[in-house]
């Protein structure tokens, strides 16, 4: 489990309990289901938040997913914070307006096995990948131009191992099936998304596989919208905005597939800290959770607004 001084973090079981408590407290606006199971058979829960939550209404849908990378535990807290804010603060008219006019999907732990493995000994392992064989980097296993461009590794021992094939990891396959399932009447219902990571305090947009702004699957107008909304979100949280490939090239990451396949306005946020000194940056003390998750409230609201644009 998390060490005693970091008990403010939710482990996998506590995350599930927190989602169950949210649903129990707010059954009219919150519902839990599962997108599938991990390699070791753990459930990957998803929370839906909206008015008339049991119905699939014609409202723009927004996706927040967290903890693709095992050691990035602050992101799980980010997803739980979003869930709590949109439910506990439902009496706030501004929150009610967002909840009533959107369908918000929250997946706090995309990589349950890796997340559990990282903390189970009581000492942080610095683990990144899933737990399939020697581990696949889930954020190199998505199927848009998988392995195309030198932005991932074919060596199973590397930290950015892309897997034997696109979607070879059950966790990414579950994400794909869930997002594909939101195509209703030929239209992708999810209009915008944030995939939360740590760390470096960045707002990133596609593509990751090429440094070109305009390329197959991205017009100048589309790129400009990514940059405009990305910059606006970055102004709200003090992060640095940039195209993801300007950081480094990746292929098979979630962002490229969400946009390339489904035209979802998809961002990657790299959360606190800005500079972490290697592995330490993945393990900020639990005392920062509240500040560093609330820090993104404005950006989350901007994304919800933009999902309706
Ligand atoms: O490398 C990743 O998967 C992400 N960074 S992390 O330190 N959390 O592992 C960044 C993915 C964003 N895409 C690109 N930078 N191209
Ligand atoms: Ca502490
Ligand atoms: Ca609704
Ligand atoms: Ca809907
Ligand atoms: Zn990451």
Mean pLDDT computed over 292-304: 99
Q: Which pLDDT value is given to residue 173?
A: 99
Mutate to test the pocket of ligand 1, among 270, 271, 279, 280 (most ligand atoms within 8 A of CB): 270
CA of 173 to the centre of ligand 2 (A): 35
List pocket residues of ligand 1, CB cut-off 6 Å.
69, 72, 139, 197, 204, 208, 244-245, 247-248, 250, 253, 268, 270
Q: How far is the CA of 122 from the centre of ligand 2 (A)?
A: 14
Q: What tokens were used for 201?
A: 């305090």
pLDDT tens by residue, 262-277: 999 999 999 999 999 9
- At residue 205, what are phi and psi to the nearest 5 degrees? -130, 165
Terminal Cα distance for the chain, rounded: 43
In the reported structure, the alpha carbon of residue 211 is separated from the centroid of ligand 4 by a whole-number distance in angstroms of 34
What does the pLDDT read at residue 99?
Answer: 99
Which residues are registered as beta bridge partners of 184?
A: 187
Mean pLDDT of the chain: 99
Mutate to test the pocket of ligand 1, among 65, 69, 207 (most ligand atoms within 8 A of CB): 69
At 138-175, the pLDDT tens digits run: 999 999 999 999 999 999 999 999 999 999 999 999 99
pLDDT at residue 12 in the model: 99
Do residues 119 and 11 lie in contact, with contact meaning Cβ atoms separated by under 8 Å?
yes
The per-residue pLDDT for range 191-218, each reduced to its tens digit, is 999 999 999 999 999 999 999 999 999 9
Taking CA atoms only, the protein residue closest to ligand 1 atom 2 is 139
Separation of alpha carbons 57 and 61, rounded Å:
10
Question: pTM for the complete prediction?
Answer: 0.99
CA 220 to the chain's CA centroid: 25
Residue nearest to atom 4 of ligand 1 (CA): 197
Q: Tell me, what DSSP letter sits at residue 9? A: S
Q: One of 270, 287, 290, 292 is an active-site residue; which one? A: 270
| CA 9 to ligand 2 center in whole angstroms | 9
Q: Give residue 151's pLDDT.
A: 99
Q: Which ligand is nearest to the Cα of residue 101, counting in written order?
A: 3
Active site residue 5: no
* Atom from ligand 1 closest to the CA of residue 209: 16
Please report which confidence band the pLDDT of residue 100 belongs to, taking 50, 70 and 90 as the band edges: very high
Average pLDDT over every residue of 56-74:
99
**pLDDT bucket at 98, cuts 50 / 70 / 90:** very high
CA-197 nearest atom, ligand 1: 8
Q: Are 299 and 236 in contact (CB under 8 A)?
A: yes
> Which residue spans within 125-249 are E strands per DSSP?
183-184, 187-188, 190-198, 202-205, 240-243
What number is the average pLDDT over the span 10-17?
99
Q: How confident is the model at residue 10, as a pLDDT?
A: 99
Taking alpha carbons only, the member of 107, 36, 33, 39 closest to residue 67 is 107
* pLDDT value of residue 54: 98
pLDDT for residue 55: 98
CB 158 within 8 A of CB 191: no
Protein residue closest via CA to atom 12 of ligand 1 = 244
Q: For residue 139, how far is its CA from the centre of ligand 5 (angstroms)?
A: 7
């Amino acid at each position: 489990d998390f060490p005693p001084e970091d008990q403010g973090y939710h482990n996998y079981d506590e995350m599930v309990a927190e989602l169950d408590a949210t649903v129990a407290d707010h059954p009219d606006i919150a519902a839990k289901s599962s997108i599938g199971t991990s390699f070791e058979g753990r459930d990957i829960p998803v929370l839906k938040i909206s008015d008339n939550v049991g119905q699939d209404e014609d409202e723009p849908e927004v996706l927040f997913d967290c903890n693709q990378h095992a050691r990035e535990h602050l992101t799980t807290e980010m997803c739980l914070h979003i869930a709590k804010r949109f439910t506990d603060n439902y009496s706030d008219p501004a929150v009610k307006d967002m909840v009533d006019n959107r369908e918000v999907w929250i997946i706090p732990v995309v990589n349950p096995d890796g997340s559990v493995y990282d903390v189970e000994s009581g000492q942080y392992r610095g683990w990144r990948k899933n737990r399939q064989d020697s581990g696949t980097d889930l954020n190199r296993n998505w199927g848009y131009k998988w392995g195309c461009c030198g932005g991932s590794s074919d060596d199973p021992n590397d930290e950015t191992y892309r897997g034997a094939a696109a979607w070879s990891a059950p966790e990414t396959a579950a994400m794909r099936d869930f997002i594909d399932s939101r195509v209703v009447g030929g239209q992708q219902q999810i209009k915008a998304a944030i995939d939360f990571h740590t760390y470096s305090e960045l707002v990133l947009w596609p593509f990751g596989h090429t440094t070109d702004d305009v390329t197959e699957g991205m017009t100048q107008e589309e790129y400009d919208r990514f940059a405009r909304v990305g910059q606006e979100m970055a102004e709200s949280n003090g992060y640095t905005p940039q195209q993801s490939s300007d950081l480094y090239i990746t292929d098979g990451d979630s962002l490229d597939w969400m946009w390339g396949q489904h035209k979802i306005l998809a961002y990657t946020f790299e959360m606190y800290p800005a500079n972490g000194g290697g592995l330490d940056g993945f393990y900020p003390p639990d005392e920062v959770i509240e500040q560093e998750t609330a820090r993104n409230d404005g950006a989350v609201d901007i994304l919800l607004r933009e999902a309706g644009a």
